[in-house]
Each structure stands twice: as structure tokens, then as C-alpha cells.
């Protein structure tokens, strides 16, 4: 379990709760040929994921991750600070070199 300090008290981030929330979100990605793989939680309460299948190389994956998965996980586990894609494609300096 990762830990979060709130008002001077440590509050544990339940890894199982994060995984359960991911399992609830997963069918939405699978409907479009994608999936997600849980990698872990770092000491800053950032959840690390890998986007798989159609999501792995899709330029829209970052938006799906931030506006979809991250928001869903933060609603389920408010201690989460951010969701990070560990296998994000290199979009270049301005974000458009990928295309």
C-alpha cells in the first residue's frame, strides 16, 4: 500500500481498490480493442499504467487516460494524485511529430 499524508496523518492508498476500479473501467477500453495493464503506485500516489491493444499506439490514448481513466480512479480513490502512462508514444516536442 502506498501512503498519503493528510492533516498530519498517514492515509494508505489501497492497491486492491485501485485494481478493482480499473477492472470496472476496463470494458470501456476493450469495446474499442484496447486494454490497460496495472504497473504500480509510486511514492507520490501516482498510478502507473500501460495502454495495450488499440490504445497502445493511439494518439487519443493520453486523452482517454487523463479524462477517462484518471478521473474514474480519482473518484474511486481520492488519494490518487495522477495517472501516468508508462508506455506513452513519443509525440515530439510540440506533440504533433507523431502524426
**What's the rounded Cα separation, in Å, for the pair 19 and 21?**
5
User: pLDDT confidence of 11, banded at 50, 70, 90?
Assistant: low
Q: Pick the residue with more confidence: 59 or 15?
A: 15
**Which pLDDT value is given to residue 44?**
94
Q: What percent of the chain has pLDDT over 70?
A: 76
Per-residue pLDDT at 77 exceeds 90: yes
Contact between 43 and 66 (Cβ < 8 Å) = no
Q: What are the cell numbers at 47?
A: 498510478
DSSP alpha helix (H) spans, 31-87: 61-63, 71-76
Q: Where are the beta strands (DSSP E) in 1-92?
A: 2-6, 9-13, 34-41, 46-53, 82-85
Mean pLDDT over 85-96 rounds to: 62
pLDDT at 8 over 60: no
Give CA–CA dist 89/42, Å, rounded.
21
Average pLDDT of the residues in 21-28 = 94
- The whole-number average pLDDT for the span 80-96 is 71
pTM (2 d.p.) = 0.75
Q: Is 32 helix (H, G, I), strand (E, B) or coil?
A: coil
Best CA proximity match to 89, nearest among 81, 98, 80 = 98
Amino acid at each position: 500500500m502506498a501512503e498519503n499524508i493528510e492533516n498530519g496523518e498517514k492515509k494508505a492508498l489501497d492497491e486492491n481498490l485501485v485494481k478493482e476500479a480499473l477492472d470496472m473501467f476496463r470494458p470501456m477500453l476493450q469495446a474499442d480493442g484496447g486494454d490497460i495493464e496495472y504497473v504500480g503506485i509510486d511514492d507520490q500516489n501516482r498510478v502507473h499504467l500501460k495502454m495495450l491493444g488499440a490504445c497502445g499506439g493511439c494518439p487519443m490514448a493520453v486523452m482517454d487516460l487523463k479524462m477517462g481513466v484518471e478521473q474514474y480512479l480519482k473518484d474511486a480513490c481520492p488519494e490518487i494524485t495522477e495517472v501516468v502512462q508508462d508506455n506513452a508514444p513519443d509525440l515530439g516536442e510540440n506533440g504533433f511529430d507523431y502524426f
